[in-house]
Amino acid sequence: MRYPQSLEALITEFMKYPGVGRKTAERFALYTIHRLDGESAQAFADAIRHAKSSIHMCPTCGHLTDQERCEVCADPLRDGSRILVVESAKDVFSIEKAGDYHGLYHVLNGALSPINGIGPEELNLKSLWPRVQEERVKEIIIATGATQEGEATAMYIRRILKDTDLLVTRIAYGVPVGANLEFADDATLAKAIQNRRSF
Amino acid sequence: MRIETVTLADFRNYRKQTVELASGLNFFIGANGEGKTNFLESIYALALSKSYKAEDREMVRFESPFARARASVMSSAGRTDLQLILAEDGKKALANGQEVKRLSDYVGILNVVLFAPEDMNLVKGSPVDRRYFLDVVLGQIDKRYLDDLSAYKHALKQRNELLKQAQPGKDIDRDLLDVLTEQLAAAGEAVIAKRSAFIAALDRKAAKAYQFLSVKQEDLGLTYQPSVAENLLPALKARYRSDLLSGTTNHGPHRDDLGFMLNGMPAASFASQGEQRMIVLAVDLALVEYIEETKRERPLFLLDDVLSELDREKQNRLLRRLMETGIQAIVTATELTDIAADIIGSARIFKVAQGTIKEEHHGQ
């Protein structure tokens, strides 16, 4: 037996979310019908509509914002000599939560991966090149992931910037802080030893 | 290392079976089609998490939802309980009851060397068969090799996809091609270095093992034949044009080969069927020795249907050598009529019939 058409439509919408399969989508849809009162359902729909219409990418760095420019770019107290390059807006929130970095960001919205159809054109790189030519910018910190794609993206940016005076750095990989060595996997340990520093 | 017990449930034609193995020679005797090879396959699968000749689902008994193989392994690290569960929706490998998610963390807990009739492809088959042999064997010995190999394969996929996008009149991003080439070369060099060192070590050992088996002054040689002689990065960069034209990466470890020479002649075309079998057996004996040296752990030796192909003298030479080294060996055969009494006396003998294994006691 099939679900009524409007319920089926709701299930289909939930299934578009990452990590949500048919079964979970059915649970969400039935929950919406049974458990949410009219007001809550309305609030949910409004929240989606509002977020979608008010949130956009910061024209400078590509981070998410509901203002003209993002919180970081608009802050005059941030250190404008450094730009930290990340794959996604989620990474910005993680680093901000850590609270130790006071420079600027640049969000690529992905990483280079021909098998997924992502080339340099598909990334938010075009707006990075004029930024790095600004007088005050001295260092580009590349913080893309430690995956083949993240590494390829880092190497690509380094290549493009190789004839500039900029200091191009890559974040370090190693043993998680507060963890014993025995819990690190072999590849991480090998990297940590390769990238050791004088002490 | 050795296996103390093997327990199978709905694995191939075994409904429920527990076997207690001896630490030395173990003979599994039965007619063809009764389940000898299936038992051997279960031990191989416990070591490598997959079969050497079949898809996972083929190892599940007909009309059963899943199969389970379990072994208690004694090694210098102590006792480990290995379990492999094969189900319709995937498989699980467990060590001491804990699921092991990374293949490279599981493979290598139990080391096996297998001689199977299919291995004849090593000499006369295609380079694909020989690369597969290298990858499986090296993966068992050196878990970083598996990581290097999968990094190489992933970078290769990326680079080939980019090359495919190159069309006449539509150029691709050269910086991206450079970057992917550098990544491919870095992973590829690691694979090449390990293959090269491994084959050099195996070469000397296999030559000695061949002379032992053949009792003649014959010279077996193994040679690594990498697809390019020079360093990989300059080699790939010098061949951009042909790669762009063909839309694929034409050189690198994915095109390597391993050559066998017998008395200076390529064995694939000049060695007889019997000589080719002896080459494979010599390589397996060399492998046992190599694993023992590098891992400080003696692997299990699985020999499927090898005896019927050797003459009486060679059968006894091989088995006596195994007996003297004390290696745990699982040997399948249809009969033991040619085997010397002292070898049989030292071994544990199992009869295999219609998916049931029963130990046969001496003097019965």
CA–CA separation, B8 and B40 (whole Å): 12
Summarised one tens digit per residue, pLDDT across range B164-180 is 988 777 778 999 999 99
Mutate to test the interface with A, among B150, B159, B175 (most CBs of A within 10 A): B175
pLDDT for residue B81:
97
Closest CA–CA distance from residue B85 to any residue of chain A (Å): 24
- Calculate mean pLDDT across residues B87-102: 91
Same domain, yes or no: B93 and B169: no
Q: List the structure tokens of B122.
A: 């090593």
Residue B118 domain flag = no
Kind of pairing, strands A139-142 and A79-86?
Answer: parallel
Token pair of B275 as six digits: 């000589």
Inter-chain CB proximity A156 and B175 less than 8 Å: yes
* Alpha carbons B184 and B151: distance in angstroms, whole number: 8
* Contact: A152, B179; criterion CB under 8 Å: yes
pLDDT at A190: 82
Confidence of residue B144 (pLDDT cuts 50, 70, 90): confident
Quick check: is B137 in a domain? yes
Contact B179 A185 (CB under 8 A): no
Do B158 and A120 lie within an 8 Å CB cutoff?
no
* Domain coverage including residue B331: 1-111+297-364
Q: A127: exposed, middle or buried (C-beta count within 10 Å: 0-12, 13-18, 19+)? A: middle
CA distance B296 to B23: 17
pLDDT reading at B363 higher than 60: no
Distance to chain A for B182, nearest Cα, Å: 9
Query: What integer best gives the mean pLDDT of chain B?
Result: 93
Please determine, for residue A76, whether its predicted confidence score (pLDDT) is greater than 90.
yes
CB pairs under 8 A between A and B: 49
For A80, the 3-state DSSP assignment is strand
ipTM of the complex in this document = 0.81
Q: Is the pLDDT of residue B266 over 90?
A: yes
Which of B295, B319, B347 lies at the terminal end of a domain, its last residue? B295
Residue range A97-156, pLDDT digits in tens: 999 999 999 999 999 999 999 999 999 999 999 999 999 999 999 999 999 999 999 999
B32 shares its domain with B75: yes
Residue B247 pLDDT > 60: yes
pLDDT at A61: 96
Distance CA B152, CA B190 (A): 9
The alpha-carbon gap from A6 to the nearest alpha carbon of chain B, in Å, equals 32
State the pairing for strand pair B2-11/B14-20: antiparallel
Residues B265 and B130 in one domain: yes
For helices B174-214 and A148-160, what crossing angle results, to 10°? 130
- Please give the pLDDT value at position A176: 80
Query: What pLDDT shows up at residue A34?
Result: 92
Query: Per-domain residue ranges for chain A?
Result: 5-54, 64-180+187-191
B236 falls in which pLDDT band (50, 70, 90)? very high
Residue B117 in domain = no
Cα–Cα distance for residue pair A181/A184, rounded to 1 Å? 6
B116 belongs to a structural domain: no
CB B70 within 8 A of CB B7: yes
Q: How many C-beta atoms surround the C-beta of residue B229 within 10 A? A: 7
Q: Which residues of A touch B154 (CB under 8 A)?
A: 148
Instruction: Clarify whether residues B290 and B175 are in a common domain.
Output: yes
Q: Cβ of B147 and A187 within 8 Å?
A: yes
Residue A27 has pLDDT above 90, yes or no: yes
Q: What tokens appear for B334 in the block? A: 């249809």
Question: To the nearest whole angstrom, how far is the Cα of A52 from the nearest Cα of chain B?
Answer: 33
Helical spans, DSSP H, in B93-142: 103-106, 121-124, 127-141
CATH architecture under which domain A5-54 falls: Orthogonal Bundle (1.10)
For residues A47-63, average pLDDT: 95
| Domain pair A5-54 / A64-180+187-191, same fold | no
pLDDT at B33 over 70: yes
- Please check whether residues B280 and B339 belong to one and the same domain: no
Q: pLDDT tier at A181 (50, 70, 90 boundaries)?
A: confident
Looking at residues B213-235, what average pLDDT do you find? 93
How far CA A68 is from CA of A56, A87, A182, in Å, comes to: 9, 22, 47
Query: Model's pTM, two decimal places?
Result: 0.84
Q: Give the integer Cα–Cα distance in Å for A6 and A135.
A: 57
Residue range A38-52: average pLDDT? 93
Regarding whether B260 and B310 lie in a shared domain, the answer is no
B175–A114 CB contact, under 8 Å: no
Whether residues B176 and A119 touch (CB distance < 8 A) is answered with yes
Residues B291 and B170 grouped into a single domain: yes
State whether B131 and B266 are in the same domain. yes
Does residue B364 have a pLDDT over 60?
no
Residue B105: pLDDT band with limits 50, 70, 90:
confident
The answer to whether the CB atoms of A148 and B158 lie below 8 A apart is yes
Fold for A64-180+187-191, please state it. Answer: Dna Topoisomerase Vi A Subunit; Chain: A, domain 2 (3.40.1360)
pLDDT value at A183 more than 80: no
- Write down the mean pLDDT value for chain A: 93
Predicted confidence (pLDDT) per residue in B7-19, tens digit: 999 999 999 999 9
Q: Which residues of B touch A190 (CB under 8 A)?
A: 144
**CATH code, domain with B181:** 1.20.1050.90
The answer to whether residue B236 is domain-embedded is: yes
